Structure 1
Amino acid sequence: MIKGQIHVYTGNGKGKTTAALGLSLRAVCAGKRVYFGQFIKGMEYSELKAANYLPNFEIHQFGRDCFIFNKPTEEDILAAKKGIEILEKVLKDNSYDVVVLDELNVAIYYKLISVEEVINLLRGKADNIEVIITGRYAPQQLIDMADLVTEMKEVKHYYKKGVQARKGIES
């Protein structure tokens, strides 16, 4: 059995979720099973349709709306906690080879869940499962625990020129 590694994709640059989706595509094309759990997100993103096109790919959202411009509500916290409960089972039962915890770092940053809960979750995972954690603001404890950490650094972004999120590119 090959040991599954823990990846963290963080930083202020664009591409963390996109990188996780790319790895997911590669894994599915290699015959692996992927579970993609999205924290914070509850809006309609194009990747939600991926399961219609990719065998062995499952995606679920553990968010309601994008509250980033407001404070998280009790419902936001409950949605994140439910995600952790589901992922506890997913990470133990060996039904998946790759598990993505999309925007988990942001959920920690906004105190929807604690870094201690996440560390316990990761310590309980089956040895062979590859885990990818995305989101800005990765806490140092997760960086220390991870086997691979990539920081996306923004050098230039068209958003600053007023270009809004485009379907199929950013959403």
Structure 2
Amino acid sequence: MIIVITGNGKGKTTSSIGQIVRALGHNQKVCLVQLFKGEDFYGEQKILTKLEGLDFFSFATKHPFCFRDITKEQTVEECKQAIDKLKEIIKNNKYNLIVLEEFNIAIRDNFIEEDLLIDIIKQLNEKSNIVVTGRGASQKLIDVADLVSEVKEIKHPYNKGVPAQEGIEF
């Protein structure tokens, strides 16, 4: 099954982490490939890397629209490394669940070619499920997916100037 979790609200990563925990609870083998999130900063990274049965990979830890010390070209190259890892993961065929964190953003911002990612995830075998998260999922990816959830922001304290809180936003 191909699952897409998108939208402008908070909770896409939280939802995918829930899927990871659920799969691990059934002794399934899980892989998380994460983009644009520096390693060992986010709370979920600190705990997930300790869980048995989960393989965790982080690429393109900085997004050039947020950080001045990285170029779009560097980000494209780092996302290419993530795509190469994903090809290897799918070829090895050992995971029940593969989570591609923030890959929708990589497609939206032209760091990953949409058709390439879709072709790769279509190669999943019958035992594997894949979750693709991030804002701005493309219509093409939505059309290919079996299950799509949209997380909609209704209200967020950040809009009132409240800074991000450890344990809530990161």
TM over 0.5: yes
Letter in 2 for 1:7: I
- The CA RMSD measured in Å over matched residues stands at 1.6
Spell out the pairing of 1:150-161 with structure 2 (5 A cutoff).
150-161=149-160
TM-score if structure 1 supplies the norm length?
A: 0.91
**Partners in 2 of 1:21 and 1:128 — Cα distance?**
19
What is the aligned partner in structure 2 of residue 16 from structure 1?
12
Q: 1:28 aligns with which of 24, 30, 44?
A: 24
8 Å Cα contact 1:42/1:66 also seen in 2:
no
- Which amino acid is the alignment partner of residue 93 of structure 2? N
1:121: which partner in 2? 120
Sequence identity (%): 38
Shift of 1:67: 2.7
Question: Which residue does the alignment assign to 1:89?
Answer: 88
Corresponding residue SS for 1:80: helix
Cα displacement (A) at 1:29 = 1.1
* 8 Å contact kept, 2:35–2:60: yes
* Residue 158 to residue 61, structure 1, CA distance change in 2 (3 Å): same
Give ranges in structure 2 of 5+ residues lacking alignment: none
Match of 1:68 in 2: 65
Normalising by structure 2, report the TM-score. Answer: 0.91
1:70 CA drift (Å) = 5.9
- Measured after TM superposition, the shift of residue 163 of structure 1 is 2.1
Equivalenced residue count is 167
Q: Unpaired segments of 5 or more residues in structure 1? A: none
Q: CA deviation at 1:66?
A: 3.5
Structure 1 residues 25-78: Cα deviation after superposition (integer angstroms, max 9, x where no partner): 111011011101112223521222234542101211111323333685211111
Mean alpha-carbon deviation: is it higher for 154-163 or for 131-140?
A: 154-163
